[in-house]
Chains A and B, each alone.
Chain A
Amino acid sequence: MRNHVFALVALIVAALVFITLRLVGNEYYFVAGYTIVQYIILATAWNILGGYTGYVNFGSAAFFAAGAYSSVALITFANNIDDLLPGGIAPFFHSIFPLPIPVLIVVAGLVSGLIGYGMGYLTLRLRGAFFAIATLALAVVLQTLVVNWEFVGGSSGAYVIRPESVPLIGNYVQYLFVLMLVLGVIALTIARMIERSKLGAGFAAIRDDELAAEASGVPTLQLKLIATALSGALMGMAGAPFPYFIGFLQPQSAFGLEYAVNSIAMPMIGGTMNWVGPLIGAVLLGTLQQVANVTISSSVNLLLVGLLLIGFVIVAPNGIVGLVQDRLRARKKPGSKP
């Protein structure tokens, strides 16, 4: 199956990126790269529910932060086993904790996936507009819960100590970067697999005309729940290593506005019809923002993102990929697929 080949190629590309950065040697590029790959995952995840299925999620930060904070909870637990558990069972837990990051990622995926499923269950029977508003609400509710939860640091934040180094790769930040690259490959492969599958056809039918999809036998509610859970899970997984990356996690950072905006802007600017769009959008906008953060203020940078979003939504609704496709279609015969 071509999907396996795709995953392999993507892994090779990722490996090449890593090796190149290693050769360049500048620590900063790993930090910037982590952020960009993080956005690739967030944008791809958003697009599964937004671009493929047509349901807008304004609360990407909620799912991302849920993943980050599930990691914080587990890390804090690991640091306080002796205080929290009776002496009898403590040693057992000491042997498993602290959990390695890949396990944290899986747990975060489950947590965020469940939140997505739960919220979908409550609101997906209604119109898409109501779902979108509910996602906004979700972000605020979750943030309020976290702010009031002392265990994970509440509003003052939580410190997370990075291990010194990791076998084989050495530098911890580089290790985090490698993890994100692998996660990125997984996210892109999943997105591509969905596109070409029966599930993807169902999603597209829902997006194009939900009423007609139902009449055609598509179990719309079930599929929408799958999309919401999957999208949420991927976002949560992207958030799981974040506490280690940033070292000190406050609710304002985890629930930051830039996550909500970028998760929407990157796919809409890149193109929402397939897996390429979010990738392009994330790489372009992500790089732009990294440059802008250093040269201009971060506020101006966000302003540009917002203006680009509005501009593209009005002028080029199918994003960059759409513009390229229109160019190609104008030269070739109609009816050819990329």
Chain B
Amino acid sequence: MSALLQVKGIGKKFGGFVALGGIDLDVRQGERLGLIGPNGSGKSTLVNCICGALQNETGTVHFDGQQMDGLAAHERTHRGLSRSFQLPRPFHSMTLADNLRVPMYYTVHKRSGTPLHADNIDARCHELLRLVGLEAKARQRPRDLTQVEMRKLELARAMAAEPKLLIADEAMAGLSHSEVEEILALLIRLNESGITIIMIEHIMSAVMKFSQRLVVLVTGKKIADGKPETVVRDPEVVRAYIGE
């Protein structure tokens, strides 16, 4: 079957600096893809181009059979492409429940066809918060949250848009071992409910446990793409990590 996400020849420059030099990437429906690479290799830039936060200069992005190029970020979210941010960006003036309400008002409402009544949205918000273990803090503000709770909120908000594909950008950075396990379990659970997930991470133990396929990016180019066990033994990959 054809890929859910098809990225062909994505190129992006910042002034004279080439952030992405022609990236090809296919992601199949239901897959768990890991994306790794040293700092500055272009992982976040790639995500931004796929999701529409940045405009790629060359190449195309196809999602769910539709061409995404030229579509604004919010339109891509409406079609099922969602992402969490590397540094959590919650809506600080709102409660946790209201944070989730925003994507539910603006994304699910359009696509589902049947209008969502006020009670329905409330129920779904709480359901999502329960899924990530934040239901008790539903009426608190993001500034009252711990680091790992912020990460969970970030993921919950991405989930509130009911995506087909979720890109989790370094959702585990800086967390303790048990917290990493929490987020990992959450992501696997989400994938089991049918959501395709791309995980961008530096924590190799989590990446190895999670990924069915592993892609490695170095200075804007893809240097490896295959089974995790094979990829980590690839000499070029080893060199990229040890040699930096």
Contact = CB atoms under 8 A, between A and B. Distances in A.
B12 interface: no
Given A217-B161, A334-B140, A335-B95, A211 B105 contact: no
Interface string A211-252: 111111111110000000000000000000000000000000
B91 A212 contact: yes
Contacts of B139: 335-336
Contacts of A336: 139
B89 A202 contact: no
B202 interface: no
Interface stretch (B25-33, B77-85, B183-191, B213-221): B77-85
Interface stretch (B96-104, B172-180, B192-200, B227-235): B96-104
Contacts of B106: 198, 202, 216-219
B53 A211 contact: yes
Interface in A41-91: none
A132 interface: no
B70 to A, nearest CB: 14
Interface residues of B, number: 34
Contacts of B160: 216
A273 B77 CA distance: 28
B105 A201 contact: yes
A202 B77 contact: no
Contacts of B95: 335
Interface in B88-129: 89-95, 98, 101-103, 105-107, 110
Chain A interface SS verdict (over half): helix
Nearest to B154: A212
Given A213-B102, A216-B161, A217-B78, A204 B94 contact: yes
A204 B93 contact: yes
A198 B105 contact: yes
A164 interface: no
A201 B101 contact: yes
B244 interface: no
B51 interface: yes
B131 interface: no
A213 B160 CA distance: 13
B91 A217 contact: no
B73 interface: yes
A269 to B, nearest CB: 19
Given A212-B89, A216-B161, A221-B72, A202 B53 contact: no
**Interface core residue of A198, A209, A215, A220 (most chain B CB under 10 Å):** A215
Contacts of A211: 53, 85, 89
B152 interface: no
Contacts of A334: 140, 144
Nearest to B88: A212
A335 B105 contact: no
A242 B95 CA distance: 42
A218 B74 contact: yes
Contact of A208 (B51, B78, B91, B110): B91
A215 B93 contact: no
Given A214-B53, A334-B144, A219 B72 contact: yes
A12 B109 CA distance: 37
Nearest to B121: A198
B157 interface: yes
Contacts of B161: 216-217
Contacts of B78: 217
Interface in A189-209: 198, 201-202, 204-205, 207-209
Given A202-B105, A204-B93, A334-B144, A215 B72 contact: no
Nearest to A273: B93
A205 B105 CA distance: 12
Contacts of A202: 102, 105-106
A216 B107 contact: yes
Interface in B36-52: 51-52
9 contacts: A198-B106, A201-B94, A212-B89, A212-B91, A215-B51, A216-B106, A217-B77, A218-B74, A335-B95
Given A201-B102, A215-B82, A335-B140, 6 more contacts: A198-B106, A201-B101, A201-B105, A209-B91, A213-B74, A217-B161
CB-CB nearest 5 A-B residue pairs: A217-B107, A335-B139, A208-B91, A216-B103, A212-B89
